[in-house]
Structure 1
Amino acid sequence: MAMAAATAVRGLVERHETLATAESLTGGLVAATIVEIPGVSAVFRGGLVVYATELKGTLAGVPKDLLDERGPVDPDVAARLAEGARDRCGADWGLATTGVAGPDPQDGKPVGLVYIAVAGPYGTRVNELKLVGNRAAIRIESVTAVLQLLIDVLGTSPAPV
């Protein structure tokens, strides 16, 4: 996790761009991992921990009808969370995590089903993860995966002029 966070922060510092987070199942672990990196204050704007479904709407701006229709564990919800973090925190990039860490399924969704998203100046990318392990392992892997997704997107996106 720490290596991915360091690489992501370094990439953002080099690009002079900023980052915000919106987290559900990770409960702030993405933000906590990022802020462990020296120099992060140059790029990290802040984050939203939107564990309760209604807060995904009121704080992160996910449309209520989307949440009512599909529930919180959905790729479009992940995309809107990342976009909401970016918008609400005034950042260049937004990261999001939503899923089921367990120990029990949620709303018919299996333990280990996670959606991660990165929203930036060139659009939004969402990945579906099907993770195995206990609650802690699923949360840690989700953090590593969303940071790696950001690294990948930064590597394929033009740097600002």
Structure 2
Amino acid sequence: MSAAEVLTTLQGRGETLAVAESLTGGLLAAEFVAVPGASVVFRGGMVAYATDLKAALLDVPPPLLNSHGPVDPSVAAAMAAGARERCDADWAAATTGVAGPDPQGGQPVGRVYVAVAGPLPEHAAVRELTLPGDRSEVRAGAVEAAVTLLAEVLATTITSR
């Protein structure tokens, strides 16, 4: 499912979307806002590239960041939940990872976590990826993976309204 199809699904359900991004630096938001009419569904997003901003802007618990670092499945889940809450959206998708050129915090280049948070706790999902390629390919792969995970979770849920 493409970003356009995700937005169409959400619009049909009367639901909204937000994003939280780290390594993708705004590419995930751009993927959605490139779709004509996105403003009906897309509420906004946050690029929390610096680790401290994940806590300050997205309410990722500082002890989690201190113990696991910013590239972690629990951090990705917390970023999605934080974006959903901060943007007052029904759904949120998040990306965190290492685009390269060097490893970060013991994580290899290409290690990415994408996450989704929805209206109910059972709508939460996280996926770990090891993406090949250079920096731009890893970032593009992370965007595609986040859209795909969101589409998969939406396909298994009924409307929350």
Give TM-score, length-normalised by structure 2: 0.96
3-state SS, counterpart of residue 59 of structure 1: helix
Aligned alpha-carbon RMSD (Å): 0.9
Aligned: 1:54 with 2:52: yes
Aligned pairs for 1:35-74 (under 5 A) are 35-74=33-72
Which residue does the alignment assign to 1:127?
A: 127
Which residue does the alignment assign to 1:105?
A: 103
Match of 2:23 among 4, 22, 25: 25
**Which ranges in structure 1 are unaligned for 5 or more consecutive residues?**
none
Task: Please tell me whether the aligned partners of residues 119 and 160 of structure 2 are also in contact (alpha carbons under 8 angstroms).
Answer: no
Which residue does the alignment assign to 2:9?
A: 11
**Which ranges in structure 2 are unaligned for 5 or more consecutive residues?**
none
Deviations 1:78-136 (A, max 9, x none): 00000000000000001100000001000110000000000001221000011110000
Which residue does the alignment assign to 1:80?
A: 78
- Distance, in Å, in 1 between the alignment partners of 2:13 and 2:152 is 14
Task: Please tell me whether the aligned partners of residues 110 and 131 of structure 2 are also in contact (alpha carbons under 8 angstroms).
Answer: yes
- Count residues in correspondence: 159
The alignment-based identity, stated in percent, is 58
- Distance, in Å, in 1 between the alignment partners of 2:7 and 2:157 is 15
The residue type paired with residue 120 of structure 2 is Y
Which residue does the alignment assign to 1:157?
A: 157
3-state SS, counterpart of residue 133 of structure 1: coil
Provide runs of 4+ in structure 1 moved above 4 Å. none
- Distance, in Å, in 2 between the alignment partners of 1:11 and 1:57 is 31
- Distance, in Å, in 2 between the alignment partners of 1:60 and 1:121 is 17
